[in-house]
Amino acid sequence: MDIGTKPTTVSSSMGSYRVSISKEGFVWPVPGCYTVSSPYGYRRSGFHDGVDIACSGVRGKPIVAAKDGVVSRVSTGGSGLGHYVEIDHGGGVKTGYGHCLAGSISVRPGQRVSAGQPIARVGSTGNSTGPHLHFNLIVNGKRINGLPYIR
């Protein structure tokens, strides 16, 4: 799928939804949910290395790949991020998706994914106080603030 640069409707196994594409060429990872419930940076509990995107407490919304790439990691628990997907976009750029709903991850390591393709659903697995996506942007192994890139 060529996502282009304009908002596009994606029809997928997880339903039909509109995806928006940022100037930096990233798709917003939770279509229709634009609330940043906790930004990247220092907070009372310590350094928060990602952007939390919530859907008014609703779980089950599709999480989509922010860019074309290859799934580099799928983890189903153990860490604070709970059920987690990581996608390698090449050029030292990866994205990570944490707290996914248990049993919802629909991709496997080595699988090629397209921008806007559903990969999991929003959940609250791992160290989480309510349903949200923890979105990581990883550049050359460093977790940076992804918000300026995805919005």
Name the residues that contact Zn ion, by CB under 5 A.
Answer: 50, 52, 134
Chain-centroid distance, C-alpha 121 = 9
Q: Choose between 3 and 87: whose C-beta lies nearer to Zn ion.
A: 87
Cα 84 from Cα 118, distance rounded (Å)? 14
Whole-number minimum distance, CB 26 to Zn ion, in Å?
18
| 68 phi, psi to nearest 5 deg | -60, 150
Q: Check residue 106 and report its DSSP letter.
A: -
Q: Choose between 21 and 150: whose C-beta lies nearer to Zn ion.
A: 150
Which of 118, 71, 117, 112 is CA-nearest to residue 95?
71
Whole-number minimum distance, CB 9 to Zn ion, in Å?
28
Q: Choose between 4 and 130: whose C-beta lies nearer to Zn ion.
A: 130
Whole-number minimum distance, CB 1 to Zn ion, in Å?
28
